[in-house]
Amino acid sequence: VLGGSGQQGGGIARRLARAGRRVIIGSRDPARAAQTIESWRASAPIESAGYTDAAAAADVVVLAVPFSSADGVLEACRPHFRRGALLLDVTVPLTFESGTAALVPVAEGSASEHVKARAGADVRVAATFKTVPAQLLNDIDRPLDCDEFVCGDSAESRTEAAALIAAVAGLRAVDVGPLQRARSIEHLTLLAIGINRRHKVHDARFRIVGL
């Protein structure tokens, strides 16, 4: 989990470790990340490493850094990704200028398409974990009760990403199709932030009925 010492990545790392997956947190400062892991008192072990070492060690890489940092992280990791690795893009191109949340325009259409264009030809990309709130993920003993959208560059990428989501207790994966659907998902993250602010909550989330 690149950026797994942070809010969203930390919640994902802890939930996946609890689901029995081997988790490595990629960090600019692995020693500091090790201290963060220690503070979690996680029931399952989680390792830390530099970004490139973490990328090289994983078949599934979660990109959970601020969107503004994604280009630098991808440039550094590109030569180190395993051939055929699945990159799960969690980034949302948010800005909070003058206290208002908004999406930064992205030339490719979405953060995930931007990431796909920079991940390297041998890396598959799916977008997910973009709408489940960090607050809820990190309340580690609280059961999850929502859906998480998955889109990706192939049916195989989506199936693999959905299996990982399904491994997290209480989270249901909803396959929404090709990677371009990340444009809609990223707008839903913005919508959730707006709902949180308006209704003074921290964990607005989505569940699709009728499936």
Ligand X SMILES: NC(=O)c1ccc[n+]([C@@H]2O[C@H](COP(=O)([O-])OP(=O)(O)OC[C@H]3O[C@@H](n4cnc5c(N)ncnc54)[C@H](OP(=O)(O)O)[C@@H]3O)[C@@H](O)[C@H]2O)c1
Instruction: Kindly state the smallest distance separating residue 191's Cβ from ligand X, in Å.
Output: 12
117 versus 155: smaller Cβ distance to ligand X: 117
Which two tokens mark 81?
A: 């990704």
Single-letter amino acid code for the residue at 195:
I
Instruction: Kindly state the smallest distance separating residue 127's Cβ from ligand X, in Å.
Output: 10
Instruction: Kindly state the smallest distance separating residue 181's Cβ from ligand X, in Å.
Output: 16
62 versus 123: smaller Cβ distance to ligand X: 62
Count other Cβ atoms within 10 Å, centred on residue 161.
28
SS3 77: helix
Which two tokens mark 118?
A: 């920079």
**Cβ-closest position to ligand X:** 6
Which two tokens mark 206?
A: 């989505």
Which two tokens mark 170?
A: 């209480």
Which two tokens mark 64?
A: 């959970």
88 versus 162: smaller Cβ distance to ligand X: 88
Instruction: Kindly state the smallest distance separating residue 67's Cβ from ligand X, in Å.
Output: 5
120 versus 203: smaller Cβ distance to ligand X: 203
Name the one residue in this structure whose structure tokens are 């489940």: 132
Chain positions contacting ligand X, by CB under 6 A = 3, 5-9, 27-29, 33, 64-67, 69, 90-92, 94, 130, 133-134, 189
